[in-house]
Structure formats: C-alpha cells, structure tokens
A and B are shown apart, each in its own frame.
Chain A
C-alpha cells in the first residue's frame, strides 16, 4: 500500500427488493466494525431506512440519498475520501462506480478502488467486453451468434452442437425462443425467425435448459491466493431463476471431477477479474458431457455469499473485509473464538443446508405463479440438518407461515394436474413433488419429467416413507427416532398423533433420543473453535453449552415476506445489541440467511432452526433464558409460549390488540412515549399515499412525513391535549401513536395504536433516539428517564424527512389495478429535504 487508507466511502445496497434483503447490510456492518477499529473513517450512501448502519454511523458520515453518479460525486467533492467500494452495494453500485471512473472522478480525487480495479469494474459493466475476455481466456460461456441465413445458422449450430435455441431479432410479433434438436427443426425455425425479424436476423444459442445449475463462492487475496468458500446446487435445472429454486449446499450430486472443474473455473474467473475479496459465480453443467459454462459473475456480497457464511461458519464477511484492504489471507487475524487457521482452511461441512424460496402469492392471488427465469421470490428460509432429509424438512418447516408445523395437502389434485405442475412448476413445486412421491410415481419418471436429479426424489421418498411408518406406529420409540432423523419437528408428531408436544419430548428423553446442537463451523470438527452458531440434530454429543450468566432468547422473524419484515429484522438486531449492552448474554433464533440479526456481531449466540413451538421449547430447555423476547405480533407463538409458566416472555412492540380504534382512517398522527404516569410527546407524522385513493384507510397510507405539514394551522397543542386525555383514559403504555383523521375539515381522533415496527425505526432516524433501546429499558425497568427527556428536547425538525413504501407490482407483472398497502411493501426508501418552514 502506497498511501494509508484513512477513509472509505461505502456505496450501499439501497432499499430491499426482489433478490435483495439485508445481506449486503449485514456484510457492510461487519466491515464497518472492523474498519472503525482500525481507525478508518467510514462514509455511507444509502436510502434504505431499514439498515442497521443508520444507527451505527454518525450523521455527518451518512448520506441518505439514492445511489447515483451525481450524489456520489457530490460526496467525493465535499469530503476527504481515500477509498471507495461497491462490493456492499451490488450491481447498481458497480454501475455508478463505473461512471465515476469514466468521468475520471476517481482518478482526479486520488481515490483507491477496493475489491475490483478499474479494469474489472469496466468488465462488470460491459457485458460484451466481459464475454470476449472470458472467451479469450478459454472460459466457456453461452454465446449468442447472430446470423442472417440458414447456412450460417447451420454452421454455427454444428459448431456449438444441438440442441440450439433460435430467436428472431427485433421481431415483428412477440415470439418465443424455439428449441431445435436437429437440422430439420433448425431449417423451419431459422426460416420462420428470419421471416418475422425486422432486420432479417436470428440469434443462435446453445440450448442449456435442463442443464444442472450450480454456484460457487470464492475469495482471493492480492497475491492471487484463492479459497473455495462454498458450493451450491440448485434443485431445479437451468430455466428457473436460481433465487426461485430450492438450493442445497454443499453440492450433493456432482462427481468429484465435475466439482473440481467447477472449482478450477471459479479460480480462473476470479483471477481474470483480479478480485480482492469475494465472488459468486453461477454455472450450468451438462451432466452428459461434463461441460461447464459460466452463466453469471457477481463480484460482490449477495444472497449466495450470505447463504455461504451462514451455512458453513466460515467468517466470510470478516475475511473479505480484510482482503478488500489488500491484506494477505495468511496475515488475517481472526477473533479469538475462531481457530487461528480458519481463514486459510478450505471450508468443509458435515451438515447440509437447504434454502427454500418464499413467495409473495398470498398477497397477490391472481398473478402467474409459473416459475421461469424471472425472479419471483421475496425471501428465503434455510434449514440446516445432519442429513439431506433433515435439512430439507427443516427448511420446509422454516418456510411455512404457521408455527404449527402443518403442511398444505394436495391429495385432491387429479393426476393430470399433478403432471402438469411437475412439467410447468409453480411455487408449489416442492409440495407437489411430495404428493407425486406419495402417489408412488416411479422416481425415474419424475427425474425424466422434471430434469431434476434422482437424489432429490430419493430423499423426498425417504421422508414420505418415514411419515407413513410414523403414522402406522404411534408413540413408538423407533418412530420418534426416525422422525428426528428426518427432521420432522415434535410439533409435526404432535399433529400426526394428536398428543401434546411435551409428551413426545418426555418419551424422547426416556429412550435416550436426545436433541444435540452442533456447531456450524468450517472444519467438520477437525479443529477446536468456539463459533457461536448452532443447528440441531439428534445424536449423542451436544456442543452448545448453556450460556453462562443471565441470558435472553430473542425469537427472530424468520423468512422475509412482504410487509414490515426487513424492518422487523433490524428491530430484532437492535433489541439484541441493547440487551447485550445491559449485561445479558443474547441468543437469537432465526432462519433467514439474509438477515442482519444472524450476524455474529449482533448476538452472543445464534441458533439457525425453524421458528416453531417445539424448536423454541428445545432451545429454552438448553439455555434456560431469563427472558424470551418476541419482536412483532405473532399471536399463536405468543399464546403458546405464555401457556408455559416457566417462560418469561416479553413482546415488543406491545400487542396491537391493545389498540383503541374508532375509525380505520387517518391523515396524520402524534407519537408519544407513555411511561408510568408520564405522556411524553415525540413528534408529529403526516401520512400520504402515492396512489389515487381517497379512502384514507390507514392500511393504504404507505408514505410518512416528519414533521407533519400542518398547512391548515390546526392547533396541535389542543389536539395533543385531547390525545393525552384519551391515552390516560385508555391506560395504554409504551410507544403510542394517536392517529387523526379530517372529519368535515376538522381533525378528530381515529385511533390509538402501539407504534408499528417500521415507524419505530423511522422514528429512530428522525429523532436520533434509539426507541427500541428505550422500549427494552422500560421492559426490564432500567430506563433513565431524565436522560431520555434531555434527548427528546434536543430533537430538531429542521429537515423534512420522508419514508416511502416500495412495491413489487411492476416486477411481478401486475397489470391489475392493485393498491399499495402496508402489508404489500417489499421495502422502503428515505429522502430528506430541508424543511420549508425553517
């Protein structure tokens, strides 16, 4: 390093969207922690309100703005920036960085690029150049060839080999790709394609639909040392977006030579791009010929890198943060709880991780559910198990919305419907396969129809056979052992046998079928380490010792859904950080690989398990926590836990059932903290909506402004007095929002509600007070009220701050007139203006 880096500008990931939750935020948070300890000044540009970084980074270094060229340029001009990186921001950030390089902004300001040099940023932004570079280096990719007559088409097809796909360029009518298996089909397709093309051209590509889709995550240091961090295998072949596919890690059905070829290509690509840090690569594999093609290169943190670090325990974000700063991989010192050699070890697992996609279809029943190359999932959940069956079952259990462990039943579908679902899979695919296996369709036929490896059907058939066995042998010792081996929760057994969960646990104990927790660590037990992440199995050796001292269990939200989920995860994380500060050992249960709350910096211990009653009881049994914290409204869960007198549970924010509702409408609101007999005003909030709807129903108001634009000059003091009187009367406590609606031109109280999670996080940002901390402090009687009052007095509303919901309608091709509602949000964005009043 010629010049010491004293400041870094991080380009953030922006609001959550399809294929993007909090994974980049989680990675940035770890890097931030490391760089801060090195004394590096970190700047961040991002406009995602649900980012853990907003709380951690000082306001002067935080730029709440969309990540675009002029905004970044502005920051560079006005601040001392030594280095910049796009690896925590992904594609958009890389594009912006590319433009800044082209405009010489980076060079003129003498800024270092971290992770990717200018040449590789250019390659990542110029697909044509990238492809040419890969071809020159003999990396196989799928190339498009444009031809304008049949002879050329034939010569290309012979070269790349049949089947090929033919597509008309600039077609006069909408036309699909045509797959040609032989010369005859090619003649027809080319004739037809040229005919329909405005420019008399068709493109010819190798047809790879049905190839196996596999992925790797690799790292590289400045000296070119590389390490394969993980391998992932999509259950679905090429043709379905890999984010929409069930994914197994490590790969399960590759021969060693296929695996090694994939590893070699990964290393070659990361070397060509001279990446310092992390790279995720997607491949397609022709299992007949062992040919492997590179499909996509992602040299930044994304959902697959997040899956890797959660699934095998390799400290990927930690190590990559150092690699970005030009450290050599053998010079990186890991935190004490890791074996000192861990950074250098190529990770291995003695467990399997399965990632299962989560769909938005409950909110949008009408949209096309067919899986294709276009991404439709909004989240994912993982299951980690000692066997593939257990991993799959645990992932399935984690993906279900009910904490009761009941799976939908498709036994009423006709044969034709099943076959059709198998050929044209929808979001129901995995459950349909269960049904097909239940109906004893030959596994080889299923392989034929779906082009999926027989291994998947085999493990599903093991599960189905197991469940049949269990049904037949109620309360039998072997049934319980079998169920546990297959990853069926005690809750499922309790449903199947119609008996209490605790009874199953009792029997399990008497037959010595003990639950054991295994450390998620990257050497399969070869080395001793104290990594704090665990999954369960039923074996003889428990590696998760009870946390010493008083501990709390925080039950994370699990899979992401539409609605306030990303916000919930930030809420969960903040709770944990606060409880740790207050002297508790914090234990988090979660199964969303993209969540911030699973980051090792957030809690003292992490359990990656289904969030279901029996799994929670097992963890409580192992840890005996003083409190169980439940972020968010989850009635079934809360009721079930409250039934158990040994559990001291605290729900934050307080149950929405406590709301007092006169009307569902709203125009603006006043927020209060109600503690003991004090009612402390915090701020006013204006509600709005981008869409043209006049209902003013609170559920449809997805934009928030602070302060409320009181252009009718209502007497807010008077309104506040009314609000306080009502709060007192209703005896409702905590963070409270009093919502007003205009009625005949005058504001009147519509409802009083505990402040929602999303708005609490918004309020944190607006007031510079961490309200989650305040709620935690109140819940365990440790609030310093005077200090809080001082902070409240310091709130200044010199800016107009706006939070707007972001909706998935366009990405889901929703043509119907769907109104945005709070429960349909996929993310949100923040923006700030100087307040016109001041």
Chain B
C-alpha cells in the first residue's frame, strides 16, 4: 500500500493509495459516470492525455477480458477511483486491472472521494492533474508547467491503411483514434471495411470507390485539426454517404460552417437523456465530450439538428439538408454504454441503399 496523491492544477490535493504503475503522469482530469465497462473506457483512445476518474464505486471486479478492448493500446494517463478490486478472471487467470495498468505504465490511485472530486470539477471546470508521490510545491510547479501534447490524433490513430474483409458494403473508416466498437458494429453488418489514416487525401479515398464513409471518434480538440481535413469532408460529403461520430461529428459540423465550443464541464457517461427530435424518442448513449457544436451556430441552410441532450442542451446529432450525411456526438456503439442507438448504423447503411436507388 503505497501512499500517493492526485494533485489538481488549482492547488487541490487528494491523498490515496497507489495501484497499477507507480509512474508519475499528468493529464486532463475527466470523470466518467458510466456504471460499467472500465476496460472499454481505459482502452478508448478518446481519453488520450486524460486522467480518468470513475464515479462507479469500485472497479477491477471483473479483471481484464479478451473481448473488452476498445483499442489494443491504451493512451490514458491515469486511473482514479474510490476502490480498486484486484481480481483476474480471464482464461489464464493472470490479468487483473492493476497488472494491466502496470504493464502499460499507467498509474492508478484509489481511496479518492470521487463524489467530492465530481463536485469540485463541476464547480471549477476541467483542469490538468497529476498522480504523484509527493504533493509538494515542486509537484504543483511541474504540473502547471506541463504542456499537454496537442498532436493527439497523430499519436493514437494509425498511419497505414488496413482492410477488414466482409461480404457486404465497402465502407471507409477515417481513423481519428477510433474505438473498436465502430468496427464491431460495421463487421456485424458484414461490411467490407477499409480503415484509412485521418489525413487521407480526398482523391485517395475516392479511388477506392467506397459506398460509404465513416468519420470516427477520437481524442482532443477539433479546432486544432488540420484545415485540410475539413476540406476533404466538404468534398466527400457531396459524393459518398457519410456518417460520423464524436470528433468526426465535430469536424463535420466545422466543415459545414458550425461553431465548436469547449464545454466548461465535459460530460462522460451514459446517464443523460438524448432526444431524437423527429420522433420525440428519448435514448441513452455513451457520451465522452469536452467539446460541442454551438447551439444555433449551425447554418440552417446546410444542417439540421437531429438529436439534443435534454440536460445540458448540447447538439447531439446533425444531418445535412442536401447530402446523405448525418452525424452524432455520442458513441452509438456503446462499449461502454447503452446500445439504444446502435440502429444508427443500419440507418447509415440504408442511406447508402437509397443513394444507390437515386
């Protein structure tokens, strides 16, 4: 039981006990309120450069499982939890969450009053944090001096294309740091998937003659993404049915003239009701967002809002008026989180069919 500290940019310090790696790491502190699925969360590249706190009271209960990876690499900076349970139940009975984190040099800290942490972040906004051995002035200075890497997509996304063969439609997935859930949903629908790097050129995409294109989720600030990407999106949406999620959705909005704002308080969890405007239906989905499309900033000539978060009012879905292109802010593939909206993937494939019919 090694005593360690979670220190925040604003000078706050929490004492806890170390698990996983003993490395000292710094990242942006976010809190996920997902009730399940710590492994999916920890391996989701969307959390690159972030220290993830879990409001779920205890994690580790089911160890690490072969089927629950959202990426094989994990790029988070730390895990904060009230209690860690050291259990391994995978087939070799070897891999507990703690061991996993140790192997990947990710520090964990338990014994934190995450309720207080949640209140603190909700009051004071998103901030940087470190998991450290000593909470002295030096540690805080280090923390404040740390500039987080803004080449996040470059760090987590692939830079070489690959193919996941399928007997169905050929779909290109632009990888901005995608989570496996997207590929899982497409595979389930027999798609022939080509995953291309995020910065692939328009002509290279078109040359592959895809039937649809998916812009994946990914980490970081959409405003820091290369302008070229927006141009590509703008061109491609006129040619091929497009579907985007998360960062992809934010980029699509930018490409079509909407504004993006950084939320003072991000939302990471699946507890918010999201209204599907056209049907009035309420769904729940995994949201991991620190940015949002600014309300009323969408050019009504181009885009319509299809989904809205009933709690904080953020835009959760957009559709292009002219082209078969639509996007959602959340992760319809769940993992972790509900799959109330997994049928969006069907909708996407149907939009390809109706495009064909034209």
Contact = CB atoms under 8 A, between A and B. Distances in A.
Contacts of B83: 386-389
A636 interface: no
Interface string B262-279: 000000011111010000
Given A257-B335, A344-B311, A539-B116, A352 B58 contact: yes
Nearest to B184: A257
B61 A253 contact: yes
A524 B310 contact: no
B241 to A, nearest CB: 27
A541 interface: yes
Contacts of A226: 282
Interface of B: 33-37, 40, 55-58, 61-62, 65, 67-68, 82-83, 85-87, 89, 93, 111, 113-116, 118-119, 122, 269-273, 275, 280-282, 284, 310-311, 334-340
A77 interface: no
Interface string A243-282: 0000000111111110110011001000000000000000
Contacts of B275: 330
B55 A256 contact: no
Contacts of B93: 444
A525 interface: yes
B166 to A, nearest CB: 21
Nearest to A287: B89
B57 A388 contact: yes
B85 A459 contact: yes
Contact of A525 (B36, B55, B62, B310): B55
Contacts of B58: 252, 352, 387-388
A524 to B, nearest CB: 4
B347 to A, nearest CB: 18
Interface of A: 223-227, 231, 250-257, 259-260, 263-264, 267, 329-330, 341, 344-352, 386-389, 444, 454-455, 458-459, 485, 516, 518, 523-526, 539-541, 543
Contact of B271 (A225, A345, A455): A345
Contacts of A348: 33-35, 55-56, 269, 271
A523 B337 CA distance: 16
10 contacts: A255-B62, A256-B334, A257-B334, A257-B335, A264-B339, A345-B271, A345-B311, A388-B83, A525-B118, A539-B113
Given A330-B310, A388-B83, A525-B55, A257 B113 contact: no
Nearest to A541: B116
Nearest to B117: A525
A251 B58 CA distance: 11
B267 to A, nearest CB: 8
Contacts of B34: 256, 348
Contacts of A455: 61-62, 85, 87
A264 B334 CA distance: 12
B36 A255 contact: yes
Nearest to A350: B55
A255 B68 contact: yes
Nearest to A346: B271
Shortest Cβ-Cβ A-B pairs, 8 listed: A256-B37, A525-B118, A541-B116, A539-B113, A524-B55, A344-B273, A225-B282, A256-B336
Nearest to B40: A256
Contacts of B282: 225-226, 329-330, 344
Given A347-B271, A539-B116, 16 more contacts: A227-B273, A250-B35, A253-B62, A256-B34, A330-B310, A345-B272, A345-B273, A346-B284, A348-B271, A350-B114, A351-B57, A455-B87, A458-B85, A516-B113, A518-B115, A525-B55
B189 to A, nearest CB: 17
B273 A330 contact: yes
Nearest to A462: B85
Contacts of B281: 223-225
A262 B112 CA distance: 30
A387 B280 contact: no
B135 to A, nearest CB: 14
Contacts of A444: 93
A458 B86 contact: yes
Given A255-B68, A349-B57, A223 B280 contact: yes
Contacts of A346: 270-271, 273, 284
A351 B55 CA distance: 9
A225 B280 CA distance: 9
A254 B36 contact: yes
B284 to A, nearest CB: 5
A386 B112 CA distance: 11
A524 B56 CA distance: 8
A349 B269 CA distance: 12
A227 B89 CA distance: 31
Contacts of A525: 55, 114-116, 118-119, 122
B334 A260 contact: yes
Contacts of B55: 348, 350, 524-526
Contacts of A250: 35
B1 to A, nearest CB: 9
Given A341-B310, A344-B310, A350-B56, A541 B119 contact: yes
Contacts of A223: 280-281
A389, A458, A518, A524 pick with most chain B CB within 10 angstroms: A524
A250 B61 CA distance: 13
A226, A344, A516 pick with most chain B CB within 10 angstroms: A344
A259, A350, A351 pick with most chain B CB within 10 angstroms: A350
Contacts of B271: 345-348, 523, 526
A386 to B, nearest CB: 6
Given A223-B280, A344-B282, A350-B56, A454 B33 contact: no
Given A225-B282, A349-B35, A260 B339 contact: yes
Nearest to B310: A344
Nearest to A523: B271
Given A264-B339, A345-B271, A350-B115, A526 B33 contact: yes
A256 B114 contact: no
A540 B111 CA distance: 11
A444 B34 CA distance: 29
B57 to A, nearest CB: 5
A135 B33 CA distance: 35
Contact of B62 (A254, A267, A344, A388): A254
A259 B310 contact: no
A231 B338 CA distance: 14
B40, B61, B118 pick with most chain A CB within 10 angstroms: B61
Contacts of A257: 67-68, 334-335
Nearest to A351: B57
A256 B335 CA distance: 7
B89 A524 contact: no
A256 B115 contact: no
Contacts of B115: 350, 518, 524-525, 539, 541, 543
B42 to A, nearest CB: 12
Given A386-B83, A455-B62, A525-B118, A352 B57 contact: yes
B13 to A, nearest CB: 11
Nearest to B122: A526
Nearest to B83: A387
Contacts of B85: 388, 455, 458-459
A264, A345, A525 pick with most chain B CB within 10 angstroms: A525
Contacts of A330: 273, 275, 282, 310
Nearest to B84: A387
B33, B36, B68, B284 pick with most chain A CB within 10 angstroms: B36
Contacts of B310: 330, 341, 344
Contacts of B272: 345
B60 to A, nearest CB: 9
A264 B342 CA distance: 11
Nearest to A443: B87
A476 to B, nearest CB: 14
Contacts of B335: 256-257
Contact of B116 (A263, A485, A540): A540
A252 B62 CA distance: 8
